Structure formats: structure tokens, C-alpha cells
């Protein structure tokens, strides 16, 4: 009796190979991250910031995705809003990204590593100025 994994491999060989690029996985992760309350933005590092200043915006800024045949590892570099519970926001971010990538691609997301790169004080400053 064949296992489920063997059946999937056989069908894939018979029908062809499906490859999902790392950029696609990173974009899905970015869109999922944008929906998590408490995430102010993504941190792309010096190189990413330089590219953005030159006019090229990337939806996958601050995200590194390693995609294998059936699984993915995702690293997120984020900036969180000041005053939020960082641990709770990070766990919610991991769950949101894992669910979005697995549902849209069928890949098994092995790890979602969250790297907090900074704090955003912009919402607090706007409230003090009376703006929203």
C-alpha cells in the first residue's frame, strides 16, 4: 500500500513539476504580515532601504523565504508599534504567515522566524499632536 506522500510524488511526476518561487512566498508572507495589528512595517536593512529610495518598492521587503520541494522556511524582519506586547504580536504574525502560505501554496511551512528590528513611535506622536 502506498503512502499519501508517494501518491503525491507519483502524480506530480506524471503531470509535471510545480515550482513556487521564493519571491511569491515572500510576497504572500508580506501581505499576511500587513494584516497583523501591531506590525508597523518591514525592515529591509540598508540594501533594501537603498533600493526603495531609488524608486523600486518591493512587497517582499524584509522577508527571506527558502523554498524546497514541499516545504518553506521564512524569516521576517519587522518593526512593531510602540506599546504592543511584542511576544503576542510575534506569535500572531507567525500564525498568520504560516496559514496564508500553507493555504495558498500547499507548502509545509517548517519555520517562521520573526526578527524584531525596531519600534515605531509614529502613532503615539500623531495622537499627541491631535492627529489620527
Q: Is residue 13 part of a domain?
A: no
Domain count, the chain: 1
> What pLDDT is attached to residue 9?
56
Whether the per-residue pLDDT at 131 is higher than 50: the answer is no
Residues 2-38 pLDDT 10s? 445 555 555 556 788 889 999 999 999 999 999 999 9
Q: Is residue 30 part of a domain?
A: yes
User: What CATH number is attached to the domain comprising 33?
Assistant: 3.30.70.1350
Q: Is residue 124 part of a domain?
A: yes
Which range of residues forms the domain containing residue 55? 18-129
Instruction: Note the pTM of the prediction, 2 decimals.
Output: 0.74
Kindly state the helix (H) or strand (E) to which residue 123 belongs, with its residue range: helix 122-129
> What pLDDT is attached to residue 8?
52
Angle 7-67-98 (CA atoms, 0-180°, nearest 5)?
85
129 vs 94 pLDDT, higher one: 94
Residues 50-105 pLDDT 10s? 444 444 456 678 899 999 989 999 999 999 999 999 999 999 999 999 999 999 99
Q: Is residue 71 part of a domain?
A: yes
Q: Are residues 62 and 43 in contact, defined by beta-carbon separation less than 8 angstroms?
A: yes
Q: Is residue 6 part of a domain?
A: no
pLDDT category, 130, cuts 50, 70, 90?
Answer: very low
Amino acid at each position: 500500500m502506498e503512502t499519501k506522500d508517494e501518491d503525491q510524488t507519483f502524480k506530480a511526476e506524471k503531470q509535471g513539476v510545480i515550482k513556487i518561487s521564493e519571491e511569491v512566498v515572500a510576497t504572500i508572507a508580506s501581505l499576511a504580515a500587513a494584516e497583523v495589528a501591531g506590525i508597523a512595517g518591514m525592515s529591509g536593512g540598508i540594501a533594501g532601504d537603498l533600493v526603495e529610495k531609488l524608486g523600486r518598492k518591493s512587497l517582499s521587503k524584509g522577508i527571506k523565504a527558502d523554498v524546497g520541494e514541499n516545504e518553506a522556511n521564512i524569516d521576517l524582519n519587522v518593526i512593531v508599534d510602540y506599546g504592543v506586547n511584542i511576544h503576542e504580536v510575534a506569535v500572531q504574525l507567525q500564525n498568520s504567515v504560516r496559514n496564508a502560505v500553507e493555504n495558498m501554496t500547499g507548502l509545509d511551512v517548517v519555520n517562521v522566524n520573526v526578527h524584531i528590528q525596531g519600534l515605531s513611535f509614529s502613532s503615539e506622536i500623531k495622537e499627541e499632536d491631535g492627529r489620527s
